Structure 1
Amino acid sequence: MQENPSSQPPEVELSSAAEASPDAASAESPENTAIDTMPSIEEQLRQAELKGAEHYDAWLRAKAETENIRRRAAEDIQKASKFAIEKFATELLPVRDSLEQTLAVENPTLEVIREGVELTLRNLARAFERGNLVEIDPAGAKFDPHQHQAMSMVESDQPSNTVVQVFQKGYMIDGRVLRPALVAVSKAKE
């Protein structure tokens, strides 16, 4: 009996194919695994959308916080300007009290009125000092256009541009002129 090569059972071929397929399957497996582990475009898009929504939420929160800080700062500035004079006003209350006490005296004599006015002036000077309000009394000083306002020029024996008369004292607050002193300035004799 001669065996026909074509008469071999087909199972042999299948088994040899099956034997070859585990190797082939294991060879293809890393590629299939790489493809399976790599997210699909839809998944990548979904993750990007989630991340974008997260960043948008963080941006909105930061923007809201910035607006709150800006609003609070504006309120603080408004309160500071509104109540900036509060300390100085508190210092002026004793001045008013002394004036009222002076006026409340029945049958005041000239001496009592003078004492009341002197007390009031001391209280006012103390309030000015605490408020950093400094008097500008430039009598005999060289004319300074930043602190003085010349009302007239008069001939004098003093050097030219010297303050010879003070009509009204000036005031500075923390080094800044609040009101210039009104003065008469000397000029050279002709």
Structure 2
Amino acid sequence: MTDVKQPQSDQPELSDTKRETSPPQGQAQASETGKPEVESMPSLEQLLKKAELDAAEHYDAWLRAKADAENIRKRAQIDIANAHKYAIENFSVELLAVMDSLDAALAVENATVENFKSGMELTLRQLTAAFEKFNIKVINPQGEKFDPHLHQAMSVVDSDLPPSTVVHVMQKGYVLNDRVIRPALVMVSKAKET
């Protein structure tokens, strides 16, 4: 039989007793003085105390966040209530000029019909300007096609106009920012009978 030779490695083989091994982490290592150095590992009491401090800190932060959220909610409720309560404040200020004009017209003792008429025209211009400022538009559909979204038909009448045409406006309507706040009351033409 032939002997099979094992390949030799470049490094010399050490015996089991001479192999250098580093101690596992956390175990003592020998220093130059020969005394073992112990890595300081926190005790269970220290870990528990740290966890309790962390928990108390997180609980305090949670309480503060909860209080902040509650304050924001209360502030928002107050703001909404004030918005509802004082929503027409700016519009009311504009109407005060109209009220002043009406009071001044009534305070004149020896007014003529012409004076009253010119005062009423001035007051109407002031009111129209206030409406325009707050985007209130008049619905005056005389001669237009009837639109049930903007008009309310009070009656249907015979007319030479095409069917479903506004013949007469009994009361003007108004739109606020594309929302009908009062439909125009109208009379509508009906189809001619054949």
TM-score range, shorter chain: 0.7 to 0.9
- The runs of 5 or more residues in structure 1 that have no matched partner are 1-23
- The runs of 5 or more residues in structure 2 that have no matched partner are 1-27
| Structure with more helix by fraction | 1
- Aligned identity (percent) is 60
* 1:105 counterpart residue number: 108
* 1:7 counterpart residue number: none
* 2:41 counterpart residue number: 38
**Helix, strand or coil for the counterpart of 2:167?**
strand
* 2:146 counterpart residue number: 143
* 1:117 counterpart residue number: 120
Aligned partners of 1:28, 1:69: CA distance in 2, in Å?
63
**Helix, strand or coil for the counterpart of 1:141?**
coil
Q: 1:156 aligns with which of 139, 155, 159?
A: 159
- Bigger CA drift: 156-165 or 128-137? 156-165
Opposite residue 29 of structure 1, the aligned amino acid is P
* 2:187 counterpart residue number: 184
Aligned partners of 1:151, 1:75: CA distance in 2, in Å?
44
**Helix, strand or coil for the counterpart of 1:171?**
strand
**2:92 matches 1:89:** yes
Rate the CA distance shift 1:25–1:182 in 2: closer, same or farther, 3 A.
Answer: closer
Aligned residues: 163
1:133 shift after superposition: 0.8
**2:61 matches 1:54:** no
Aligned partners of 1:28, 1:159: CA distance in 2, in Å?
115
Rate the CA distance shift 1:177–1:28 in 2: closer, same or farther, 3 A.
Answer: farther
Rate the CA distance shift 1:43–1:166 in 2: closer, same or farther, 3 A.
Answer: same
* 1:29 counterpart residue number: 36
Opposite residue 173 of structure 1, the aligned amino acid is L
Aligned partners of 2:154, 2:47: CA distance in 1, in Å?
83
Q: 1:167 aligns with which of 166, 170, 174?
A: 170
Opposite residue 103 of structure 1, the aligned amino acid is L
Aligned partners of 2:154, 2:35: CA distance in 1, in Å?
105
Aligned partners of 2:121, 2:56: CA distance in 1, in Å?
74
RMSD over aligned Cα atoms: 1.8
Aligned partners of 2:35, 2:176: CA distance in 1, in Å?
88
- Bigger CA drift: 141-150 or 53-62? 141-150
1:25 shift after superposition: 8.2
**Helix, strand or coil for the counterpart of 2:36?**
helix
* 1:77 counterpart residue number: 80
1:28 shift after superposition: 8.1
1:167 shift after superposition: 1.0
**Helix, strand or coil for the counterpart of 1:151?**
strand
Task: Flag as ranges the 4+ runs of structure 1 deviating above 6 A.
Answer: none
**Helix, strand or coil for the counterpart of 2:116?**
helix
1:99 shift after superposition: 0.8
Q: Normalized against structure 1, the TM-score is what? A: 0.80
